Amino acid sequence: MLKRHRIIVISTVILIAVVLLGIWLKRPKPIDVIISQVDQGNVQRTVTNTRAGTLKACRRAGLSPAIGGQIARLPVREGDRVTKGQVLLEMWNDDLIAQVALAKSEILSNQSRVKEACVIAEVATREAARLTKLQKKGLASDDSTEQAVGEAQAKQAACQAAKSSVEVSRSRLAVAKAALERTQLKAPFDGTVAEIAGELGEFVTPSPVGVPTPPAVDIIDNSCLYVLAPIDEVDAPEIKPDMPARISLDAYDKKFFNGKVRRIAPYVLDREKQARTVDIEVNFILDESTRNMLPGYSADVEIILDSHSNVIRIPTEALLEGQKVFVYDKDDKTIYERKVNIGLSNWKYTEILEGLVKGESIVTSIDRDGVNDGALVRVESQHASH
């Protein structure tokens, strides 16, 4: 009897163990998740460009000669810093230089004639005045006096004509200098020579009307930079000049630069079907970090429409549809769905008005299979608050 009882007890224990083992083997496996702590900080509402923008210089000039000719002098090279008014390119102009010299000589010659004619006129005027006095005293004849006065007036007219000829010569010099200026390309502002299309001895011709040709010299002023970027037409009405912005460049990975909106285009572009955009320009707030930037870089802008500081926030990637999150319970290793009320939001952070408190843990890997309300989870990694 005792033996039979022992067998029954052992069988029962084995059965219970088998059942428990089956239950244990069939229990749901925990889902690996990434969690993040609810923290406190700044949240901004922003808009970004729909396609990559372009870094541009505030001043850039593609210069071409006004007349055709042969390049005789190239005093600068690509990459040179130049100052306003500096000669960048000069075509053969010996004939025009000679015309300028001739005009200057004519001025000198005519100035000498002015001096001669006016001295003669002055002498004639004094003689006429002397004879006029003598005539009044009866010591000079009327004929000689009238003749002297007429000669003095003629000499004065000759003096004025000589002075006029000097002015004509000066105008001729100005014309010659203007023609000479047309053979030179001068820097319209301080900047850097980006490109030169031409070599010494080559012939250049001006662009025909309506047919653009590459500029002979391309000059860029890098002291002022801005980003030209397209913004969706839906976001454009909220953007105003002088709004703060953040600028990022592919060439400067993971680095942001401060900027300010300087212009919003007054019209909508429809270059692509169903993708209407408005071009905006964002100025860099320049500092040492922007010194070596090159126009043409691809760039993105994030315009700050509103900002709240020192608020409860979560990573935006943790937010579910319907303004819900998964909260992690560290005691039972389970996640629970919770409704929250949100405020400002951007691609990185979302402001929480109600539903969470600082220090709670929420799931950020919400797109993984098995992540749902009541799921047993295992923390793969935990992101500390920033």
Same domain, yes or no: 167 and 234: no
Are residue 161 and residue 234 in the same domain, yes or no?
no
**Does residue 6 form part of some domain?**
no
Residues 301 and 359 in one domain: no
pLDDT at position 342 is 92
Q: Are residues 290 and 313 in the same domain?
A: no
Instruction: Write down the pLDDT at residue 154.
Output: 83
Q: What is the CATH number of the domain that holds 107?
A: 1.10.132
- For the chain, residues with pLDDT lower than 50 are none
Q: What is the model's pLDDT at position 82? A: 92
Identify whether residues 299 and 324 lie together within a single domain: no
Q: Are 98 and 112 within one domain?
A: yes
How far apart (Å, rounded) are the C-alpha atoms in residues 216 and 213?
9
In this predicted structure, what is the pLDDT of residue 94? 87
Last residue of a domain, one of 307, 331, 353: 307
Q: Is residue 116 part of a domain?
A: yes
The pLDDT value recorded for residue 87 is: 92
By C-alpha distance, which of 228, 220, 225, 159 is closest to 194? Answer: 220
Q: What is the distance between the alpha carbons of residues 100 and 247, in angstroms, rounded to a whole number?
A: 53
Output the pLDDT for position 157.
Answer: 85
Q: Tell me the per-residue pLDDT of 250-289, one tens digit each, with 9 for 90 and over.
A: 888 778 888 999 999 888 887 666 678 889 999 988 766 6
Torsion of CA 331, 335, 341, 343, to 10 degrees: 90
Q: Are residues 273 and 295 in the same domain?
A: yes
Q: Which of 273, 288, 307 is the last residue of a domain?
A: 307
In the chain, the amino acid numbered 375 is A
What single string gives the DSSP state of each residue in 225-276?
EEEEEEEETTTGGG--TT-EEEEEETTEEEEEEEEEEEEE-SS-EEEETTEE
Tokens of 221: 């002023």
User: Is-contact 172 109, C-beta < 8 A?
Assistant: no
**CATH classification of the domain holding 270:** 2.40.30.170
Question: How far apart (Å, rounded) are the C-alpha atoms in residues 299 and 56?
Answer: 10
What is residue 236's predicted lDDT score, i.e. its pLDDT? 87
| Per-residue confidence (pLDDT) for residue 63, from 0 to 100 | 86
Looking at the structure, do residues 37 and 116 belong to the same domain, yes or no?
A: no
Q: Find out whether 183 and 73 touch, Cβ atoms under 8 Å.
A: no
Q: Evaluate whether residue 20 is within a structural domain.
A: no
Task: Give the per-residue pLDDT at 203.
Answer: 85
Does residue 215 contact residue 63 with C-beta atoms inside 8 Å? yes
345: helix, strand or coil: strand
Partners of residue 228 on adjacent β-strands: 54, 281
**In CATH, what number is assigned to the domain containing residue 366?**
2.40.420.20
pLDDT given at position 22: 61
Residue with tokens 């429809």: 270
The answer for 49, left when phi > 0, alpha when psi is -120 to 50, beta otherwise, is beta
Query: 281 and 250, same structural domain?
Result: yes
pLDDT of residue 326: 92
pTM of the predicted structure, to 2 decimals? 0.62
Tokens of 187: 């820097």
| Structural domain boundaries enclosing 246 | 48-59+223-307
Examine the domain organization and report whether 100 and 162 are in the same domain.
yes
Does 217 map to a domain? no
Q: Which of 260, 288, 307 is the last residue of a domain?
A: 307
pLDDT at 24: 55
Helical H segments across the chain, by residue range: 2-26, 94-136, 142-181
**Cβ-proximal residues to 35 (8 Å cutoff; 6+ apart), any chain:** 328, 361, 362, 363, 364, 379, 381, 382, 383
Whether residue 35 is contained in a domain is answered as yes
Q: Using alpha carbons only, what angle is made at residue 98 by residues 77 and 158, rounded to the nearest 5 degrees?
A: 140
Q: Is the same domain home to 326 and 271? A: no
In a domain, 240, yes or no: yes
User: Is 74 contained in some domain?
Assistant: no
Question: Is there a domain that residue 19 lies in?
Answer: no
